[in-house]
Structure 1
Amino acid sequence: MIRRELSAAERIDWLRLARTPQVGPVTFSKLIARFGNAANALEALPDLAARGGRQKPLKILAPEAAEAELEATETQGARLLMACEPDYPDLLAALDPPPPVITVMGRLDPDAAPCCAIVGSRNASAIGIRFARDLANELGRTGITIVSGLARGIDGAAHSGSLTTGTIAVLAGGIDHIYPPEHAELHRDIARDGLLVTESRLGGTPTARDFPRRNRLISGLSLGTVVIEAAMRSGSLITARLAAEQGREVMATPGSPLDPRAKGTNKLIRDGAALIENADDVLEILQQAKRPVAAESDTEDYRVDNDVETNSTVRERIADLLSPSPVSIDEVVRQSDLPAGLVHSVLVELELAGRANILPGGSVQADYSDGRR
């Protein structure tokens, strides 16, 4: 995605497209690549959704609503950053694709120093909390900015330990949504001295689907992710997986095999994560880490001849290959025996129709929200 300043009108269109239901980050990126700008993409949405089989019109955000969100966000003391804008965080811009819009509040520049995520169990042990706080403090004193999710346990300890040196809290809800309630003071302090970041709109209450998005931002802002205490079914392991998929470093602290909170971290180490015992271990890994950079947009896989209408048989053939379990788009291309550009084009139409979810990382799953089976 080409970095450039947007005009006031372009920012409104960008926000409207990003806030349109069924326009996920992958589809957003592909629409911008295909149509050149958000205004052209917005104009094309109804036709694309209808091609995919959508029965009801898309609820595209009105220009007045987008203007109101921008104004309300600024009144709150926060600001919206569009993925193409120069002040959008560099490491997030390097994601494929980057979140189209984020809201930030605070004075900290995420590009001013290397960032490292520290995440872990909400139900953390006393020693785990102490280790997280001390590790964050030691790393902060060496010039590392700490990123975490403002949750109970390890996250809160990491923020507390790095509050005076630089910390970024990534939220699942709106920038003004304080959760957990006992972190109200920490939320306020980070807004003043650090940085709050979220993909959700102002006033948004998080749903289950917002937490994986938050985890993707945590790892995406960071050169590496340290996991301290995590059960086998843990959001922290999702953050670690996302970090690996993003080409970032994954680190974990070992624990007792008798403690369920060590099962996840011990498995990460067995699977290749770096074993971390102190700040020096983390610094050594981060010093060797390659800083990702945003690649030039490769839109060839989505550039299709606009004069060629995809017939319904081809579209349903692709839709029938999807299930609720994610599958790689490459596999859909192989099994459909159709050109990759055509498959990508149809998948965008199916997502706009509410029949597919295109996931970051190159996979897709069926979405039966339109009632089809």
Structure 2
Amino acid sequence: MSRFGSASAALDAIPELARRGRGKKLIPASAADAEREMAQAAALGAEMIFLGEAEYSAILAEVESAPPVITVRGDPALLQRRAVAIVGARNSSAAARRFTRELAHDLARSGLIVVSGIARGVDAEAHQGALADQSGAGGTIGVIAGGIDVKWPRENDALHETLYRRALVVAEQPYGMEPRAAHFPRRNRIISGLSLGTVVMEAAPRSGSLITARMANEQGREVMAVPGFPLDPRAQGCNGLIRDGATLVQSAADIIESLSPIADVPRMAADLFDYRAAAIEDPDDEARHSVEGLLSLTPVPVDELVRMTALPPAVIATVLLELELAGRLERHAGAKVSLNGA
């Protein structure tokens, strides 16, 4: 907006920026489409909160890949509370489910918000445990991979309805969007991004829960794990996290102690708009060629591109923006980028 003078002019510039990236043709949604989606959300009792607004979670705004807009249904005030995420296996053991429920209950009673993904297994138990606390000190937030109107899995329909009434549900995907495989890692970054730390309860190697733990680590948040029996495949992920330095969790007190040094630190939302406005400069074809030549399917830090090309960061930022708008670039946690193979 600072570069083009207004939001309308910036939107009008998008097709040309995408064309320079030599990818798919990109035309912004019309005002009518945007207003229709907002009206659909409002009719459902939900609202859309935009990055930069006071209602947006300040701690989520600190994440480099924070969603520009989230749709919420329930009590949006929970976004401003101190939170901890609990994630784990869908096929979790009975012991893990019971411990998750007790852990979430104790965390909520201590005044923390419990964040999870409303999936079966550990996620559902985390929400139920937090809801079971009647003190009103804490609460819970569910982050879903589809649109705000889509309940998944269907077995958790009743849990969705309870969260709408007594807690909060957050969605990044558009209204009516069914969850797809690619949506779940993106959902996971929001779970960890809303939280001061993430607790992993039973997770097999290469599971979605470990993706959430990795994202939490890259976001500079605490990573904690509950140990398990070594011969249980569901314990391998948690035991591996502890081996690599995650905090071992045996009770809610362990989590509170781990978070206590940072839990009361005031956090300010990053001024993303000023940052992006300052990091834009028109590149020439030689600069585009230099940057694109260093990109591959393997993520590389943006700082490395600056070092290897000796180009101004603003020029590289614009080349990456053009590639992203053209559908050819994927951004990763830790300020890394890669071609997406399209």
TM over 0.5: yes
1:106 corresponds to 2:81: no
C-alpha RMSD of matched pairs (Å): 1.9
Q: Is the 8 A contact 1:354 1:368 kept in 2?
A: no
Which of residues 321, 324, 337 in structure 2 aligns to 1:348? 321
The change in CA–CA distance for 1:49 and 1:112 in structure 2 (over 3 A counts) is: closer
1:351 is displaced (CA, Å) by 1.3
State TM-score, norm by structure 2. Answer: 0.92
Q: How does 1:128-167 map to 2 (within 5 A)?
A: 128-165=96-133, 166-167=139-140
Residue 30 of structure 2: aligned partner: 62
Moved more, 355-364 or 214-223: 355-364
Tell me the distance in 2 between the aligned counterparts of 1:34 and 1:213. Answer: 29
- Asked if 2 retains the 8 angstrom alpha-carbon contact of 1:301 and 1:340, the reply is no
Give runs of aligned pairs for residues 184-263 of structure 1, distance below 5 A.
184-263=157-236
- Distance verdict in 2 for CA 1:193–1:305, change over 3 Å: closer
Give matches, 1:311-350, under 5 Å.
311=285, 313-350=286-323
Give the C-alpha shift of residue 367 in structure 1: 2.6
1:175 aligns with 2:148: yes
- The CA deviation at 1:84 is 1.1
- Residue pair 2:56, 2:79 contacting (<8 A) in 1 also: no
CA distance in 1, matches of 2:281, 2:76: 45
Q: Which amino acid aligns with 1:368?
A: G
Q: Which residue of 1 aligns with 2:52?
A: 84
Query: What's the CA shift string for 1:163-214, capped at 9, x where partnerless?
Result: 2441110000011111111100001100111000010111111122211111
Which shows bigger deviation, 38-47 or 77-86?
38-47
- Structure 1 residue 111: deviation in Å? 4.2
Residues 273 and 341 of structure 1, relative CA distance in 2, 3 Å threshold:
same
> CA, structure 1 residues 345+368, in 2 after alignment: closer, same or farther (shift >3 Å)?
same
Please, which runs of 5 or more residues in structure 1 have no aligned partner? Answer: 1-31
Q: 1:192 to 1:227 in 2, by over 3 A?
A: same
Q: Return closer, same or farther for 1:114/1:121 CA change in 2, 3 Å cut-off.
A: same
CA separation in 1, counterparts of 2:125 and 2:26? 43
Measured in 2, the distance between the counterparts of 1:89 and 1:339 equals 32
Conservation of the 8 A alpha-carbon contact between 1:82 and 1:101: yes
Q: CA deviation at 1:141?
A: 1.3
Match of 2:8 among 39, 49, 53: 39
Cα distance in 1 for partners of 2:270, 2:5 equals 17
Aligned to 1:299: 275
Q: Structure 1 residues 91, 304: CA separation in 2 closer, same or farther (over 3 Å shift)?
A: closer
SS in 1 for 2:77: coil
> What is the SS of the residue equivalent to 1:299?
helix
Aligned mate of 2:88, from 120, 123, 146: 120
Aligned residue in 2 for 1:72:
40
Distance change (3 Å), C-alpha of 1:95 and 1:189:
same
2:136 counterpart residue number: none
SS of the residue 2:27 aligns to: coil
- Paired residue type of 2:275: T
Counterpart of 1:27 in structure 2 is: none
Structure 1 residues 199, 304: CA separation in 2 closer, same or farther (over 3 Å shift)?
A: closer
Give per-residue Cα distances to partners, 1:19-49, cap 9 Å, x unaligned. Answer: xxxxxxxxxxxxx565465323212112211
Structure 2: tracts of 5 or more residues without a match = 134-138
Deviates more, 1:84-93 or 1:68-77: 84-93
> d(CA) in 2 for partners of 1:48 and 1:362?
21
Q: Does residue 310 in structure 1 map to residue 270 in structure 2? A: no
Provide, for residues 76-128 of structure 1, a one-character-per-residue CA deviation record: whole Å limited to 9, x for no partner: 11000001111111211222242100000002522453211110011101100
CA–CA distance in structure 1, aligned partners of residues 194 and 276 of structure 2: 28
User: Number of paired residues?
Assistant: 334
Going from structure 1 to structure 2, the CA distance change for 1:108 and 1:46 (only over 3 Å counts) comes to: closer
Tell me which residue corresponds to 1:4.
none
Does the aligned pair in 1 maintain the 2:52–2:271 contact within 8 Å?
A: no
Q: Deviations over 1:117-168 (max 9, x none)?
A: 1100111011001100110011111211111001111001101111244111
| SS across alignment from 1:105 | strand
